[in-house]
Amino acid sequence: MLFRQIYEEGLAQGSYFIGCQAQGTAVVVDPRRDIDVYLAEAQKNGLKIVAITETHIHADYLSGARELAKATGAKLYLSDEGDENWKYKGLEGFDYQLLKDGDQIKVGNITLTALHTPGHTPEHLSFLVQDGAAASEPGFLLSGDFVFVGDVGRPDLLEEAAGILGTAEPGARRMFKSLKEKFLTLPDYVQVWPGHGAGSACGKSLGAVASTTVGYERRFAWWADYLRNDDEEGFVKALLSGQPEAPHYFAQMKRLNRDGMPLLGELPKPPQLTPETFQKKLAEGALLVDTRDKLSFAGGHLKGAINIPAGKNFSTWAGWLLPYDRDFVLLASPERVEELTKQLIRIGLDGVVGFIPGLEGYAQGELETVPQLTAAEAKALWEKGEVAILDVRGADEYMAGHIPGAQNIHAGRVMRELSRIPKDKPVVVHCLGGDRSSTAISALLAAGFDNLINLTGGIRAWQQEGFPIEKGPARALVGA
């Protein structure tokens, strides 16, 4: 058996390529939308992809299951569990089979057995993998967003991101039952390969290693004692507390992954724009996404640009802040454009119409800058009540320690909270070190704010100076 985890760092997402070398066939589990990596894996190993499946209707990225099926002619295997709200649609023209608990996918000597493991989502499946050529029992569990390394999938996404109220607590109770009746009944030696690693918003404390075992999680996971003591109430409370903010684009991903999304056929190849074409695109409503680092952006940028630095978090921040109904122009070096475009299409932002390699020759008029304050300068103004403080970190970070009187709005949510940000005095914006605050400030500048100042070095610089910090939840008022 050939077993490959294909990991995408930006979304901390793992998909799986499993091949039967004896029969020359393969199955892909939870593919991402840019499918070239799976086609290359098949070609390299002389295998034909004949089956494609996924563990659930994903929220954090666009599935490549339909895309890969269209490219290969492979059969789709999708969940038929859960309620009517989460049944797959848009499958016309595909060869597909809907799966229930206990159903199997056979690929040569390899058998995948579906386990219905609701909790993260109602329709969620995990797959026990058996290599029939080597063993008479399954040795692997592809757990999707059911069990992670050291954690389990959050059950509140339907409520938090998709707005389906009243689903978080029932989901947590289903998770408890799935762990008790499905996961903990497996032998300790079964290897567990999850759908996400550290950095994903699909859980709160995911481990950074690639895999685990049933036995390890049974002994050491944070939830293990609750299951040992049959403490469902304690488990539910612990699971629902402290979950990270869910990006707004998750609701869009859920809908598209359930109902079907446009098929790409091939990866887009955005052209380098001439200065004239660039201005024309802007005039037609395209948004400039400036992928330079925060210091370069602060030193001078085109008015209206949003700063999302290139890097592993690019797609997540794009999902937080970029509109799905506009075209985009990337400000990026030519060698980075292809990967940045892939990161955007992974979350359904398909509107990249071109790129510019820099500002020289493209800027018209004076560049906009981001004013900066040192911690000492900010403290002096804060003590006089002359500035408001906007903390754009996560709620847990804020509660653990913040500048007294600061208002907390997560950087990804500032565009939906514009009315809460004062315009009658300067606003000092900060995060931990300056990356998130730069992104938040750029979005607010594009929205028309002109009273924003970045705290250089973030709250880390404030703390290093020994300036006042308080703990606890956010206050209603902004300012000192």
Q: SS in 3 state form for 147-214?
A: EECCEECCCCHHHHCCCCCCCHHHHHHHHHHHHHHHHCCCCCCCEEEECECCCCCCCCCCCCCCCEEH
Our CA dihedral for 341, 346, 351, 354, rounded to 10 degrees, sits at: 0
For 234, how many CA atoms within 13 A lie in the half-sphere containing its CB?
10
193-208 burial, b for 16+ CB within 10 Å, e for fewer?
A: bbbbbeebbbbbebbe
Question: Do residue 54 and residue 147 come from a single domain?
Answer: yes
Per the structure, the count of domains in the chain is: 3
376-401 residue pLDDT tens: 999 999 999 999 999 999 999 999 99
Question: Do residue 385 and residue 325 come from a single domain?
Answer: no
How many Å is the Cα radius of gyration of the chain? 24
> 265 in a domain, yes or no?
no
> 155 in a domain, yes or no?
yes
Q: Which of 330, 356, 382 is the last residue of a domain?
A: 356
Q: State the Cα–Cα distance between residues 318 and 325, nearest whole angstrom.
A: 13
CATH assignment of the domain containing 76: 3.60.15.10
Question: Do residue 429 and residue 291 come from a single domain?
Answer: no
> 364 in a domain, yes or no?
no
Instruction: Name residues whose C-beta falls within 8 Å of residue 67's C-beta, 6 or more positions apart in sequence.
Output: 31, 33, 35, 263, 264
Q: Which of 328, 356, 384 is the last residue of a domain?
A: 356
Q: What are the distances in angstroms from CA 58 to CA 83, 180, 421?
A: 16, 24, 33
Instruction: Name residues whose C-beta falls within 8 Å of residue 384's C-beta, 6 or more positions apart in sequence.
Output: 480
Question: Do residue 212 and residue 284 come from a single domain?
Answer: no
Question: Do residue 157 and residue 49 come from a single domain?
Answer: yes
pTM for the whole structure:
0.91
Furthest CA-CA distance within the chain:
75
> 365 in a domain, yes or no?
no
Question: Do residue 150 and residue 121 come from a single domain?
Answer: yes
pLDDT of residue 480: 32
Question: Do residue 304 and residue 417 come from a single domain?
Answer: no
Q: State the Cα–Cα distance between residues 203 and 241, nearest whole angstrom.
A: 11
Question: Do residue 144 and residue 233 come from a single domain?
Answer: yes
pLDDT of residue 91: 96
Q: What are the distances in angstroms from CA 19 to CA 11, 50, 120, 130?
A: 25, 10, 28, 12
Token look-up 């659930």 returns 56
Question: Do residue 133 and residue 178 come from a single domain?
Answer: yes
pLDDT of residue 374: 97
Q: State the Cα–Cα distance between residues 468 and 403, nearest whole angstrom.
A: 6
Sheet strands (E) in 59-109: 75-79, 96-99, 104-107
pLDDT of residue 306: 97
- 480 within 8 A of 382, measured Cβ to Cβ: yes
> 472 in a domain, yes or no?
no
Q: State the Cα–Cα distance between residues 141 and 243, nearest whole angstrom.
A: 25
Token look-up 């122009």 returns 329
Question: Do residue 203 and residue 248 come from a single domain?
Answer: yes
Question: Do residue 235 and residue 305 come from a single domain?
Answer: no
Q: Which of 192, 225, 259 is the last residue of a domain?
A: 259
Question: Do residue 149 and residue 287 come from a single domain?
Answer: no
> 129 in a domain, yes or no?
yes
Q: State the Cα–Cα distance between residues 203 and 182, nearest whole angstrom.
A: 20
Exposed / middle / buried, residue 472 (Cβ in 10 Å: 0-12, 13-18, 19+): exposed
Tell me which DSSP letter residue 272 carries. B
Domain that holds residue 391: 372-464
Report the amino acid identity of residue 149.
V
Q: Which residues of the chain have pLDDT under 50?
A: 476-480
> 470 in a domain, yes or no?
no
> 476 in a domain, yes or no?
no
CATH assignment of the domain containing 455: 3.40.250.10
Exposed / middle / buried, residue 474 (Cβ in 10 Å: 0-12, 13-18, 19+): middle
Helices 232-240, 168-178: axis angle to 10 degrees equals 120
